[in-house]
Amino acid sequence: MNALFIQNIGQLVTVDPARMTADNPLGMIENGAIRFENGTIAWVGSAIEINRVDYPNSQWMDAHGRVLLPGLIDSHTHTIFAGDRANEFEMRLQGKSYLEIAQAGGGILKTVQATRQATPEELSALTLQRLKRMLALGVTTVEVKSGYGLDFESELKCLRVLQALRAQAPVSLVPTYMGAHDIPPEYQGRTDAYVDQVCEVQIPVVAEQKLADFCDVFCEKGYFDVAQSRRILETARQHGLKLKLHAEEFCDLGGAKLAGELQATSADHLLHVSDDGIAALKAGGTVATLLPGTAFYLRIKEYAPALKLIAAGVPVALATDFNPGSCVIDNLQLIMALACLQMNMPPVEVIKAVTIHAAQALDLQHDRGSLTVGKRADAVLFDIHSYNELLYRVGSNLLTDVYVAGQHSSRQQLEAQLQPVT
């Protein structure tokens, strides 16, 4: 048996719903200890309850009074792509908007060109490096969307790379099919014909070959409208895929209402969500995944109404949206700080948003997202004495140790494996 005890945990932040109370909203145990067995959490409690002699075959680690959290979960990324769009950064500084740049030949389609040309080996190496960087920042589960192929062959190429990485990457990877990320150049002006192709050709194969867990659509003016998004998502559901939707990023098109009505697992972005949209998310049990890094990076002044969503009882998750155009931030810790500073989210809500709610946004809450007996032993240790410091110390990576399915790595070990990503 592979057993590990971590003891002397100053704050063991379980985020276990069964331990949460009004006075202890994150189910925190002070001076805690945790036991992992064969990749699973076997015991959680107070350090004083443990008698070391009862566990002669365990490995022991001392947390030195630091803070242990569930492994962080980044539930919305576009991590598989080739090339870069550094020129767009400068265009935005000169006052051009994201949509203007896309219309002028930049945007998603520029990355599509580079990604179509890349070999699976190149894409795999790039993506693996990016995932390793995320792990060294405390992220143990990453959702990755396709959507820079936009033709049958290139979408499958990306999803197959992800499938292979799923077995070999040091983080858990959740693949999402997003063939409807943009209208490919071959279908310009014929969006409905591309939707036919997505529904009749791409989705059935992706689902049959089990290349993705979710299907996502960019429901936005100039991309896919609500009727087209509905058709794609309903087809995806019929083929057994779970649903996500990019909704109300640049305007209120009604995507949130659609997501709620279809009981999608999550609706993401939501900067312009209406009150009706919020009510629909609540009714549909849909997680609102907010991506404040994108507003920050695109210099949009209005952020998603996080506090309003929370007050309405919608579970709020936070993610990076890491991609080469609208948000190159791969650091979920920075996103957490932005959520506090730009959306006024309290630290307690921010921590739930990258653990239990992010797990829910991936339909994995039964397996991860809290330090609960029976769940996967994914945990991260930070060199702080109170979880609030994780937000307060904006811009520093205070991570010291990561446990992925019970396997320990120090941050130094993880960083030693990083290579430059081009």
Residue (178 or 402) nearer to ligand NIG, CB: 178
Query: Using CB distances below 5 to 8 A depending on partner kind, what does residue 325 bind out of Fe ion, ligand NIG, none?
Result: ligand NIG
Alpha-carbon torsion (129, 320, 368, 205), positive or negative:
negative
Residues in 283-302 at the binding interface with ligand NIG, rule: CB under 6 A: 294
CB of 141 to ligand NIG, least distance (A): 19
Binding mask 172-211 for ligand NIG (x = CB under 6 A): ----------------------------------------
Residue 284 corresponds to which tokens in the numbers above?
């549909």
In whole angstroms, give the CA distance from residue 216 to residue 264. 10
Binding mask 318-337 for Fe ion (x = CB under 5 A): ---x----------------
Stretch of residues binding ligand NIG (CB under 6 A), selected from 27-35, 104-112, 279-287, 397-405: 104-112
In whole angstroms, give the CA distance from residue 328 to residue 325. 7
Residue (181 or 242) nearer to ligand NIG, CB: 181
In whole angstroms, give the CA distance from residue 55 to residue 317. 38
Residue 340 corresponds to which tokens in the numbers above?
């506090």
Coil, helix or strand for 370? Answer: coil
Query: Using CB distances below 5 to 8 A depending on partner kind, what does residue 140 bind out of Fe ion, ligand NIG, none?
Result: none
323 binds ligand NIG (CB under 6 A): yes
324 binds ligand NIG (CB under 6 A): yes
CB of 147 to Fe ion, least distance (A): 8
Paired strand residues for 380 = 69, 402
CB of 262 to ligand NIG, least distance (A): 19
Please give the C-alpha separations between residue 305 and each of 42, 283, 309, 316, 344, in angstroms, as whole numbers.
38, 18, 6, 10, 10
Alpha-carbon torsion (58, 64, 70, 73), positive or negative:
negative
Binding mask 33-72 for ligand NIG (x = CB under 6 A): ----------------------------------------
Paired strand residues for 409 = 402
Angle between helices 108-117 and 152-168 (to 10 degrees): 70
Give the residue closest to ligand NIG by C-beta. Answer: 325
Query: Using CB distances below 5 to 8 A depending on partner kind, what does residue 324 bind out of Fe ion, ligand NIG, none?
Result: ligand NIG
DSSP state of 199: I
Stretch of residues binding ligand NIG (CB under 6 A), selected from 151-159, 169-177, 205-213, 318-326: 318-326
Residue (110 or 368) nearer to ligand NIG, CB: 110
- Residues contacting 26, CB < 8 A, separation 6+: 13, 14, 15, 20, 348, 351, 352, 387
Residue whose C-alpha is closest to residue 284's, from 247, 252, 240: 247
Residue (297 or 403) nearer to ligand NIG, CB: 297
C-beta atoms surrounding 84 within 10 Å: 16
In whole angstroms, give the CA distance from residue 244 to residue 236. 10
| # residues contacting Fe ion (CB under 5 A) | 1
Residue (107 or 305) nearer to ligand NIG, CB: 107
Residue (66 or 145) nearer to ligand NIG, CB: 145
Residue (14 or 294) nearer to Fe ion, CB: 294
Residue whose C-alpha is closest to residue 76's, from 322, 422, 240, 413: 322
Query: Using CB distances below 5 to 8 A depending on partner kind, what does residue 146 bind out of ligand NIG, Fe ion, none?
Result: none
The answer to whether 108 and 181 are in contact (CB under 8 A) is yes
Interaction site with Fe ion (CB under 5 A):
321
Interaction site with ligand NIG (CB under 6 A):
78, 107-108, 111, 218, 246, 249, 294, 321, 323-326
